[in-house]
Structure 1
Amino acid sequence: MAWYHSYFKGLPQRAWKLHQDEEYTDYEVDFLADVLEIGEGSKVLDVLSGYGRHAIPLSETGCAVTCIDISSEYCEELSNAADSENLNIDVICADILGYNLPENAFDAAYCFGNSFSFFPRKEMQQFINQVANALKPGGYFAIHTENLAESILPNFQTRNWMPVKDDITYLAENDYRPEEGYIEAEQTFISGSEKVTHQVRQHIYTLSEITYMFECAGLQVTGTFANLEADPFSLGDEQLYLISKKL
């Protein structure tokens, strides 16, 4: 069983949510609405949606959002929020690699929140193919990642740590495996007397690899940006926003 099946619960889940910046999320939502060319009535797929920090505000603009995520805690939280606010959000709690999405059903799709590194190469191509098949022709697919090779490797850190809100501390020991193309990490979260440790494997892709896989799925890459201001991505930039269109 892959590491992400059991990672998103308890202390790591709480730390991830507390680490998010609401103002920055609002900027990302505006960015998504713009680059995906969506608005009221659009059918949108949120892949690896988490607790719905993008899906909820997009739904509030009139989009019909379908969310898929593997975390039962996140899915329950999102379902409760959608019900209480009467939002047009459909929540699917499943591993996307084993779930059959409807074909040609969505006007747009996105995978944000730095989740675009969970899968090894064969499964990553399957994942991209699934999203592409679910899009209508001409629909856009946008991704965000901080784990691109051009971002990670120039200043690779074998150890790092940072404080999180609510007195949570995050620590990581990282080992890059160049033959396999992934980082094997031991991540530890500490809050008071509570301590949780997980072994995490993040698969590292070059921009060229991702572009090739998108093209194999029938998706044309139309933009690669370093930030929400749409500055072109270049070596050493900390994150990538990639936009593609189904041919």
Structure 2
Amino acid sequence: MAWYHNYFKGLPQRAWKLHQDEEYTDYEVDFLRDVLEIKEGSRVLDMLAGYGRHAIPLAEEGCKITCIDISSEYCDELKAVSKKQKLLLTVICDDVLQCAIEENAFDAAYCIGNSFSFFPRAEMQQFISKMANAVKPGGHITIHTENLAESILPNFQVRNWMPVKDDIIYLAENEYRPEEGYIEAEQTFISGSEKVTHTVRQHIFTLSEITYMFESAGLQVVGTFGNLEADPFALGDEQLYLVAKKL
């Protein structure tokens, strides 16, 4: 069983949510609306949706959103919000690699939030192909990652820590394994007397490798950006926003 099956619950899940910047999320939603060319009535797929920080605003604007995530806690929260606000939002609580997704049914799809490093090469190709198969020809797909090789390796940190809201402390011990192409991290979350530790694997790909996998899935990469202002991605940029179009 992969690490992410049991990671997003309890203290790590709460820390991830508290770490998000609402204003930045609003900018990401604006970015998604523009690059995915979506509008009221568009049918959109959110892969690894979390608690719906992008899906909910888009659904509030009248988009028909399908969210897939493996965390039952996030999915329950998202279902409750959807029911309360009467949104056109469907929640599928499952492993994205295992669940069935309707083909050629969505106007657009996205995976935003640095989840685009959970899978080794073969499974990553499967993940990208599932997104591609779900989108109608001519539809757009956007992904985000902070774990691109060109981003993380030039300034690789063996140890790092940061405070999170509600007095949560996050610590990580990182080891890069070049033969396998992943970073294995021992992540620890501390809040008062509570302490939770997980071993996490983040798979590292170059932009060239990701482009090849997108093209192999029948997608044309039309933009690679280092920020939400759509500046072209360059070596050392901390993150990548990639936009592709289904041929």
TM-score by length of 1: 1.00
What is the identity, as a one-letter code, of the residue corresponding to 1:81?
V
What corresponds to 2:75 in structure 1? 75
- In structure 2, the residue corresponding to 1:155 is in which secondary structure? coil
- In structure 1, the residue corresponding to 2:97 is in which secondary structure? helix
What corresponds to 1:176 in structure 2? 176
What corresponds to 2:108 in structure 1? 108
- In structure 2, the residue corresponding to 1:154 is in which secondary structure? coil
- In structure 1, the residue corresponding to 2:231 is in which secondary structure? coil
The equivalences for 1:36-75 within 5 A come to 36-75=36-75
Shift of 1:61: 0.8
What is the identity, as a one-letter code, of the residue corresponding to 2:100?
N
What corresponds to 2:240 in structure 1? 240
Shift of 1:14: 0.2
What corresponds to 1:145 in structure 2? 145
Shift of 1:152: 0.3
Question: Aligned-pair RMSD on alpha carbons?
Answer: 0.3
Shift of 1:177: 0.2
What corresponds to 1:86 in structure 2? 86
Shift of 1:58: 0.3
Mapped pair 1:20 → 2:20: yes
What is the identity, as a one-letter code, of the residue corresponding to 1:121?
R
Q: Distance in 2 between matches of 1:45 and 1:60?
A: 15
What corresponds to 2:7 in structure 1? 7
Q: Distance in 2 between matches of 1:203 and 1:46?
A: 21
- In structure 2, the residue corresponding to 1:185 is in which secondary structure? strand
What corresponds to 1:212 in structure 2? 212
- In structure 1, the residue corresponding to 2:31 is in which secondary structure? helix
- In structure 1, the residue corresponding to 2:244 is in which secondary structure? strand
Shift of 1:231: 0.4
Shift of 1:100: 1.4
- In structure 2, the residue corresponding to 1:73 is in which secondary structure? helix
What is the identity, as a one-letter code, of the residue corresponding to 2:222?
T
What corresponds to 1:226 in structure 2? 226
What corresponds to 2:95 in structure 1? 95
Q: Distance in 1 between matches of 2:164 and 2:81?
A: 24
Mapped pair 1:165 → 2:165: yes
What corresponds to 1:200 in structure 2? 200
- In structure 2, the residue corresponding to 1:15 is in which secondary structure? helix
TM-score by length of 2: 1.00
Deviations, residues 1-43 of structure 1 (Å, cap 9, x unaligned): 0000000000000000000000000000000000000000100
Greater than 2 Å deviation, 4+ residue runs: none
Shift of 1:197: 0.1
Q: Distance in 2 between matches of 1:244 and 1:30?
A: 17
Q: Distance in 2 between matches of 1:131 and 1:225?
A: 20
Q: Distance in 2 between matches of 1:71 and 1:239?
A: 24
Percentage of identical aligned residues: 80
Structure 2 stretches of 5 or more lacking a match? none
Q: Distance in 2 between matches of 1:70 and 1:198?
A: 17
Q: Distance in 2 between matches of 1:145 and 1:129?
A: 17
- In structure 1, the residue corresponding to 2:212 is in which secondary structure? helix
Q: Distance in 1 between matches of 2:185 and 2:20?
A: 21
Q: Distance in 1 between matches of 2:207 and 2:93?
A: 30
Q: Distance in 2 between matches of 1:53 and 1:66?
A: 13
- In structure 1, the residue corresponding to 2:153 is in which secondary structure? helix
Deviations, residues 141-190 of structure 1 (Å, cap 9, x unaligned): 00000000000000000000000000000000000000000000000000
Q: Distance in 2 between matches of 1:163 and 1:66?
A: 33
- In structure 2, the residue corresponding to 1:232 is in which secondary structure? coil
Mapped pair 1:31 → 2:31: yes
